[in-house]
Amino acid sequence: MLENLVDVGMALSLPLPLTSAALALLSLEAVDDVDDGQTAADLFASYERLVGLRRDKIATSKANEPTGGDAPPSPVIGYVGLGAMGSALAMQALRVARELHVYDPDPAKVEHLKREGACAAADVASLAAVCDLIFLCVPSANEVEQILFSDGGMYAALGRGTIVIDQTTCSPAETVRFGERLAVAGVAMIDAPVTGGPDAARNGGLVTMCGGQKAAFSRVRPILEAMGGEVVYFGEPGSGQAIKLVKNSLGASNRLIIYEMLSVAAAFGLQIDALHAALSTGASASGALARILRSIRTGSPTADASLRTVVKDQQLIGRMGRATGSPLPLLNLVRTVLEAGSRMLGPAAQIDEVGRLYGIESFQGIEKS
């Protein structure tokens, strides 16, 4: 099947890098021991061995997950980073905090939360001095480190027993390093990146993925749950960051393989209604496909995410793979395609614009019924 699809792509002059790579990787395992009776399941089992997947090493029990318990008295909460996601999360924190202190370099973003009842902090140090729990939601680990440890940062102002909850998507190794430095001052750190976007934050549909010491997590869990959505504890520090990167990488890979297949459909002039009916059930169905097909029909974006941020996450999990000795051939191919796309489309590009690289610019290459 993959051979036929690659042949079609070549005949139509369509680049299908993920499809071609999947064919090559599955073919590697078939070469040594050709068996006409070999099934698709056999091939994928071989690929599991190739990438080192051990099913017996995948934890399935929640026996060690801390339970919520009674909610503590409403804390004084600080929130730093009031972009689209941070602002939505800070609004949820405002519902459960005794006081909410906020900081962002953009005064307009602070003013918006101030109008809703938050207190504006002059700087991150003054915010740290008065808060029990401090949330961070900034672009990368560089900003987290600067906020925590630079001259004028939080570190010297943090009181013992304070908990920092980092909702930035970072490298697990960086999160562990920050947590170890904070522990010297008697401050705990929980990594708690979220998935779902600003709309999910507003309507209670978030999933918060947490890592950190059990005692600290048990303290903050009732607050996170009160802020809305599902809260899942994955274990040791950095675990929340690890699963967030895994999730983001699956999303990016799904997006590119969907673009590849839609480019073939576009070349044949297939109608979007027919595509939707054929692809939205069975093994081809996915949330990513549903969002992209809806975007084609309506012109609305599938996500509020910059291509630069998506590339950053792919680079982070690529480094994570190297650190753990995990070969990630398809992930690294996705990463290089997105890196090339970012250079071609420019620093301001959004993730939806990647579709232009596949000959379906603005998704108009597919005829609508």
Q: Secondary structure of 151-172 in the HEC alphabet?
A: CCCCHHHCCCCCEEEECCCCCH
pLDDT at residue 81 greater than cutoff 50: yes
Assigned domain for 8 exists: no
Residue 365: pLDDT band (50, 70, 90) is: very low
- Mean pLDDT in residue range 248-266: 92
| β-bridge mates for residue 133, sequence order | 77, 163
Determine how many CB atoms are found less than 10 A away from the CB of residue 224: 27
pLDDT tens for residues 282-301?
Answer: 999 999 999 998 888 888 88
What residue type is 42 in one-letter code? D
User: Are residues 137 and 256 part of one domain?
Assistant: no
Assigned domain for 45 exists: no
Assigned domain for 59 exists: no
- Mean pLDDT in residue range 168-173: 94
More confident residue, 184 or 199: 184
Assigned domain for 14 exists: no
Assigned domain for 313 exists: yes
CATH number at residue 212: 3.40.50.720
User: Are residues 186 and 251 part of one domain?
Assistant: no
CA distance 30 to 48: 13
User: Are residues 144 and 168 part of one domain?
Assistant: yes
CA distance 113 to 102: 8
User: Are residues 89 and 211 part of one domain?
Assistant: yes
Assigned domain for 126 exists: yes
What is the residue range of 366's domain? 238-369
Boundary-marking domain end, from 203, 236, 269? 236
Assigned domain for 71 exists: no
pLDDT at residue 202 greater than cutoff 80: yes
User: Are residues 259 and 195 part of one domain?
Assistant: no
User: Are residues 84 and 222 part of one domain?
Assistant: yes
CA distance 268 to 12: 9
User: Are residues 207 and 109 part of one domain?
Assistant: yes
Nearest Cα to 235, choosing from 4, 114, 352, 62? 62
Total domains in the chain come to: 2
Any idea what DSSP says for residue 353?
G
Assigned domain for 221 exists: yes
% the chain with pLDDT above 90: 60
Boundary-marking domain end, from 185, 206, 236? 236
pLDDT tens for residues 96-119?
Answer: 999 999 999 999 999 999 999 999
CA distance 113 to 137: 15
User: Are residues 177 and 94 part of one domain?
Assistant: yes
User: Are residues 245 and 160 part of one domain?
Assistant: no
CATH number at residue 305: 1.10.1040.10
Determine how many CB atoms are found less than 10 A away from the CB of residue 256: 23
Nearest Cα to 307, choosing from 276, 275, 334, 277? 334
User: Are residues 286 and 217 part of one domain?
Assistant: no
Boundary-marking domain end, from 192, 207, 236? 236
User: Are residues 218 and 245 part of one domain?
Assistant: no
User: Are residues 308 and 194 part of one domain?
Assistant: no
pLDDT at residue 31 greater than cutoff 60: no
Residue 54: pLDDT band (50, 70, 90) is: low
Residue 362: pLDDT band (50, 70, 90) is: very low
| β-bridge mates for residue 102, sequence order | 79, 120
Q: What is the torsion angle, in degrees rounded to the nearest 10, for the CA atoms of residue 333, residue 339, residue 340 and residue 346? A: 160
